[in-house]
Structure formats: structure tokens, C-alpha cells
């Protein structure tokens, strides 16, 4: 296949960006999308031009670093698929593919397709961990965990933190990401001690960076791991409870 790539180029955070078009010949339908970008960059380097900067790491749909907007869709046209797992067979010979970075105020562009997602790190730092002192490590079977709780926790933990939910949301909201990171701890026995403090801290940190959720549902549709909207409902319920429980613990209730 011969593909035209119309890609966003921006030298730095404070520079003005623009689209530039490049021809990428002899693209195999078996290539991944990122392999196609690698080929494009090889051609640019051979021609003495600066290659396009984009995030990538594991290329196995696990790390969450590879996300870009492809023809206006987060991660591209294939549902429940990260950019690195998207293959060129989803496109046709002669296609023009428009590639942009995530567009969100909390994800400022670093260069070209690479954005700064440290706002997600701030949410995790606010409470996405368990700090209860457990003493020496217990045997694995000493803490009974209901299968339903374990399954639900694993469903939430599938979130790879790519940011597609934010990029797809018209409000640039991060409720799906935050609720998944909360749920995978909050439903487990080990997470109960700090459940409501964790919820309040992480939600309020999220709200300092991202927009409000208005239930469009685009986040779920764009998510490569199909994280359920139910987790947002769980988070909202816990946040309301946290307002009472945390005040009570502080002696204000």
C-alpha cells in the first residue's frame, strides 16, 4: 500500500504547530500502525529531515504510552485496540491518515505527537496506593477475597492509563481513569482502611486538572481496555459517602 500521512508537527510546548503531509510507500498490511510510523521516520531521516516524535514503549497494548488520534478517533478505527495493536490492514491503498496528539488542557504537547500526561501521576500520588502497615508478608491464602471482588478489581486494574478517555471526552474529563484506579483498590479487603480518604483525595486532585463528566460515554467507547462506566458510578457514590465519613473521622460530624 501507498499511504499519505498528515501528521501534527510542533517543535516544542510554546511553538505553533501545523500539519505536514508525508508519503509512505510500500506499506504492508501486516505492519502495526507504529511500524508504519517507524518506516515514515526512516524515510524522513534518509531525506535529512527531523523524524516525527511519538510515544511508545512495550508495543503490546500494556504500557499505555502509544495513544494518538487517528482520523479523529482515539487509537484509531478498531474498537478495544491500542494504537500499537492497530494494523495497517484496517486502511486501504491510497488512504490519507490524519494523526494528532491527545487534545486536552491537562495534556500539554511536548513535541509533535508526544504529550505530558503527568497529571495522571498526580492523581495516583494523591491516593492510588495502600499504605496500611501489615507487618511481615502474610501467606497468600490468609486474606479471604470474594471472587466477585477479585474479578471486579482485575477489571478495573486493566486500565493502562493511556489517556484516550480524556482525549475522546468533549470536556476532557478523567473520570474513567480515576474511577478505575480507585476501584481496583477500593473493592479489595486490603483497600478498605483508606477507602474514603483515598477517594476524596484522588477525586479532588482529578478535578484540579480535568473537566467535569457529563455522561457522554465517549470515554468507554475510546478505551482500548473497555473499562466500564459502572466504575464512575461507584466512584461518585464513594465520594458522596467520603464527605460524611471523612468529616466524622476528623471530629467535624
For residue range 55-74, list pLDDT tens digits in order: 999 999 999 999 999 999 99
Q: Looking at the structure, tell me whether residues 23 and 67 fall in a common domain.
A: yes
Q: Looking at the structure, tell me whether residues 94 and 152 fall in a common domain.
A: no
Q: Looking at the structure, tell me whether residues 104 and 155 fall in a common domain.
A: no
- The residues pairing with 6 across neighbouring beta strands, listed in sequence order, are 21, 98
Q: Looking at the structure, tell me whether residues 13 and 106 fall in a common domain.
A: yes
Q: Looking at the structure, tell me whether residues 30 and 105 fall in a common domain.
A: yes
Helix, strand counts (H, E) of the chain: 8, 7
pLDDT digits (tens, 9 = 90+) for 180-228: 999 999 999 889 989 999 999 999 999 999 999 999 999 999 999 999 9
- Enter the pTM of the model: 0.92
Q: Looking at the structure, tell me whether residues 99 and 179 fall in a common domain.
A: no
Q: Looking at the structure, tell me whether residues 13 and 103 fall in a common domain.
A: yes
- Nearest of 222, 237, 101, 128 to residue 173 by alpha carbon: 222
**Band of pLDDT at residue 140, cut at 50, 70 and 90:** low
140 vs 204 pLDDT, higher one: 204
Q: Looking at the structure, tell me whether residues 230 and 188 fall in a common domain.
A: yes
Domain of residue 151: give its range. 117-249
Cell of 132: 496500611
Tell me if 117 sits within 8 A of 105, measured CB to CB.
Answer: no
CATH number of the domain encompassing residue 51 = 3.10.20.30
Residue 157 pLDDT: 97
Q: Looking at the structure, tell me whether residues 160 and 98 fall in a common domain.
A: no
Amino acid at each position: 500500500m501507498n499511504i499519505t500521512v498528515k501528521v501534527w508537527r510542533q517543535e516544542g510546548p510554546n511553538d505553533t504547530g501545523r500539519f505536514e503531509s508525508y508519503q509512505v510507500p510500500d506499506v504492508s498490511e501486516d505492519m502495526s500502525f507504529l511500524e508504519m510510523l517507524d518506516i515514515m521516520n526512516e524515510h524522513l531521516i534518509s531525506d535529512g529531515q527531523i523524524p516525527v516524535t511519538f510515544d511508545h514503549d512495550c508495543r503490546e497494548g500494556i504500557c499505555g504510552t502509544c495513544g494518538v488520534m487517528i482520523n479523529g478517533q482515539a487509537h484509531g478505527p478498531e474498537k478495544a485496540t491500542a494504537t500499537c495493536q492497530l494494523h495497517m490492514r484496517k486502511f486501504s491503498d491510497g488512504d490519507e491518515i490524519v494523526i494528532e496528539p491527545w487534545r486536552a488542557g491537562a495534556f500539554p504537547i511536548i513535541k509533535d505527537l508526544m504529550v505530558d500526561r503527568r497529571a495522571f501521576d498526580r492523581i495516583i500520588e494523591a491516593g492510588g496506593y495502600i499504605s496500611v502497615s501489615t507487618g511481615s508478608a502474610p501467606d497468600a491464602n490468609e486474606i479471604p477475597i470474594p471472587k466477585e471482588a477479585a474479578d471486579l478489581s482485575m477489571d478495573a486494574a486493566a486500565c493502562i492509563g493511556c489517556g484516550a478517555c480524556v482525549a475522546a471526552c468533549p470536556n476532557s474529563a478523567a473520570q474513567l481513569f480515576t474511577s478505575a484506579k480507585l476501584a481496583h483498590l477500593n473493592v479489595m479487603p486490603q483497600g478498605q482502611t483508606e477507602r474514603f480518604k483515598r477517594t476524596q483525595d484522588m477525586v479532588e486532585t482529578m478535578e484540579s486538572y480535568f473537566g467535569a463528566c457529563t455522561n457522554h460515554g465517549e470515554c468507554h467507547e475510546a478505551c482500548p481496555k473497555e473499562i466500564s462506566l459502572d466504575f464512575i458510578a461507584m466512584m461518585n457514590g464513594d465520594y458522596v459517602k467520603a464527605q460524611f465519613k471523612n468529616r466524622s473521622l476528623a471530629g467535624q460530624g
